[in-house]
């Protein structure tokens, strides 16, 4: 973040210096318009309104330029920083939550109690899952590798029996599907086969899901992948839904069975596993309208739940600003695996429960816009983001154009009335006072009204105004 801000400041300083140099060496004064009736009309305009009209023209040209070059790395990084800042400002705020969550955390204390094993003991993991399922949650997701058999065959058989005997009326159980590079085609991924595959195929409420996310060049996870294409055991490509997609679909109020919801997702995605779809093609999935080729903005995760690393403590995020039932509760599983006493699980009722790890050796701690957090908590944020807001979207075009027109007018008047510095200050204040609160309000509903690009426009407009002022002063002094 600091490096992005420093680069942004240096770029503006460089542009400003180049414009100062251009104003000192520019060969002619600016004449608008240059001749004929247009010149007479221009001279007849009031002296105050001439620079206003010039500034409006400059502002419109800057706005057009920013839209045309919006996808350049500089403007993209600037917008990303603005979204990151807005996410941090909204961190911990969840209004009218559509689901409540629980994070059963295999923390450092639990890991060391186990003797720092090289993989999660299947016996204790099964105990944690049974604890979660018996709490009557809406669904349970296990963000722990269970695809490969362990070194204790008896524990693996117990895990297999649990899956085989999993009741049909129990909440959906989702396990993490892992991938590896295909030996037949290194450009493809293949699903890692599991000793549970045959059993899960026969269960109507036990599923695999992907936990793959997109990591930016600064190693921060800002975006999701809604599904992954990967080879099955027969070498054919098939879709694997992400946990946030599958969980959101299962949590919709529907008369369909869990298996029907899952199968509908797979059947809808199968025709597109080869990438044969149009850029803006949409797909309907269980009351969800999603893009098959989403923009970077549509893939953003609106993080709401930061990570609190205090082992064993509860972390509550209260919706609507009132003290009530926490939207998220995080607790260590240490009392469950390290003691013989019964542990209450009534607090899990009707929650989305995620079992995951936060101990250092799990290598499952990742950087996000609101700080480092375990992968399980990233999944909770992703589920909540898709469930609450769907894909993040820009506001209607008419609203953006109206706001830009107002800002251009305000900036033009400010730069004509004041010198460039005070004009920039007033214009920036208008962005902060008017645009920022609107952006903040819309962002709570999953709409991104970019306040950063207008601020860039103010900076560029100030530089253009200073260039025109210096140019005018130079030629006025020469005449």
Per-residue pLDDT of the chain (479 residues; tens, 9 = 90+): 445 545 544 444 444 444 444 444 445 555 445 444 555 555 555 555 666 666 666 666 666 666 666 666 666 777 777 788 888 877 777 777 888 999 999 999 999 999 998 888 899 999 999 999 999 999 999 999 888 887 888 988 999 999 999 999 999 999 999 998 888 888 888 888 888 889 999 999 999 999 999 998 888 999 999 889 898 888 888 999 999 999 999 988 667 889 998 998 898 888 888 777 666 677 777 677 888 778 888 888 989 898 875 444 444 444 444 446 788 989 999 999 888 788 888 899 999 999 999 998 888 899 999 889 999 999 999 999 998 888 877 767 677 777 777 777 776 666 666 655 555 566 666 666 666 666 666 666 666 666 555 555 555 555 555 555 555 555 555 44
Residue 458 tokens read as: 């103010």
Contact 166, 205 (CB under 8 A): yes
H or E element that contains 207: strand 206-210
Contact 104, 135 (CB under 8 A): no
Contact 97, 62 (CB under 8 A): no
The single-letter DSSP state of residue 435 is I
Those residues with Cβ within 8 angstroms of residue 40's Cβ, 6 or more apart along the chain or in another chain:
none
Distance CA 384, CA 272 (A): 26
Cβ atoms within 10 Å, residue 274: 9
Distance CA 336, CA 416 (A): 70
Contact 377, 305 (CB under 8 A): yes
Distance CA 440, CA 87 (A): 10
Residue 276 tokens read as: 């044969």
What is the pLDDT, as a whole number, of residue 464? 56
Residue 205 tokens read as: 């409420």
**Residue 358 — φ and ψ, nearest 5°?**
-125, 0
- Give CA separation, 413 vs 16, 267, 401, 461, 473, in Å: 21, 58, 18, 12, 20
Contact 78, 452 (CB under 8 A): yes
Residue 149 tokens read as: 């058999």
On whether the pTM is more than 0.85, the answer is no
Contact 375, 364 (CB under 8 A): yes
Place of tokens 């499952």: 364
Distance CA 328, CA 304 (A): 10
Contact 246, 174 (CB under 8 A): yes
Those residues with Cβ within 8 angstroms of residue 279's Cβ, 6 or more apart along the chain or in another chain:
293
Provide the CB-side half-sphere exposure for 292 (13 A, CA): 20
Distance CA 157, CA 137 (A): 25
What is the pLDDT, as a whole number, of residue 5? 47
The single-letter DSSP state of residue 276 is -
């Amino acid at each position: 973040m600091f490096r992005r801000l420093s680069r942004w400041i240096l770029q503006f300083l460089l542009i400003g210096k180049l414009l100062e140099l251009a104003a000192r060496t520019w060969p002619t004064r600016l004449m608008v318009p240059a001749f004929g009736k247009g010149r007479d009309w221009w001279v007849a305009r009031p002296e105050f309104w001439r620079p206003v009209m010039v500034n409006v023209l400059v502002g419109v040209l800057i706005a057009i330029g920013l839209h045309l070059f919006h996808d350049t790395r500089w403007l993209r990084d600037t917008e990303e920083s603005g979204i990151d800042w807005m996410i941090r400002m909204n961190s911990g705020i969840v209004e009218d939550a559509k689901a409540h969550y629980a994070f059963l955390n295999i923390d450092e204390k639990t890991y060391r109690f186990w003797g720092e094993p090289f993989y999660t003991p299947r016996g204790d993991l099964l105990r944690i899952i049974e604890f979660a399922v018996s709490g009557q949650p809406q669904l349970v997701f296990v963000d722990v590798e269970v695809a490969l058999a362990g070194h204790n065959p008896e524990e693996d058989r117990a895990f297999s029996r649990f899956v085989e005997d999993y009741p049909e009326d129990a909440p959906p159980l989702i396990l993490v599907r892992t991938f590896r590079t295909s030996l037949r085609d290194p450009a493809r991924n293949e699903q890692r086969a599991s000793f549970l595959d045959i059993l899960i195929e026969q269960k109507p409420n036990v599923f695999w899901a992907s936990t793959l996310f997109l990591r930016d060049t600064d190693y921060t996870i800002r975006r999701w992948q809604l599904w992954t294409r990967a080879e099955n055991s027969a070498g054919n490509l098939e879709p694997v839904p992400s946990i946030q997609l599958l969980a959101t679909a299962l949590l919709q109020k529907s008369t369909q069975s869990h298996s029907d919801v899952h199968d509908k997702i797979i059947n809808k995605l199968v025709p597109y596993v080869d990438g044969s779809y149009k850029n803006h093609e949409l797909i309907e999935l269980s009351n969800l309208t999603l893009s098959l080729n989403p923009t970077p903005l549509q893939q953003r995760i609106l993080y709401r739940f930061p990570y609190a690393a205090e082992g064993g403590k509860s972390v509550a995020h209260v919706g609507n600003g009132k003290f009530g039932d926490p939207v998220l509760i995080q607790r260590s599983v240490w009392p469950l695996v390290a003691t013989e006493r019964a542990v209450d699980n009534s607090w899990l009722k009707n929650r989305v429960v995620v079992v995951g790890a936060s101990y250092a050796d799990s290598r499952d701690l990742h950087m996000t816009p609101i700080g480092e957090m375990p992968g399980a908590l990233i999944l909770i944020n992703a589920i909540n983001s898709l469930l609450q807001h769907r894909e993040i979207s820009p506001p209607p075009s008419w609203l953006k154009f109206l706001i830009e027109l107002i800002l251009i007018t305000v900036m033009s008047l400010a730069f004509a009335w004041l010198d460039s510095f005070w004009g920039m200050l007033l214009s920036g204040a208008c962005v902060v006072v008017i645009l920022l609160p609107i952006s903040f309000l819309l962002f709570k509903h999953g709409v991104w009204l970019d306040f950063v690009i207008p601020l860039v426009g103010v900076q560029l407009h100030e530089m253009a105004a200073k260039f025109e002022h210096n140019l005018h002063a130079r030629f006025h002094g020469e005449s």
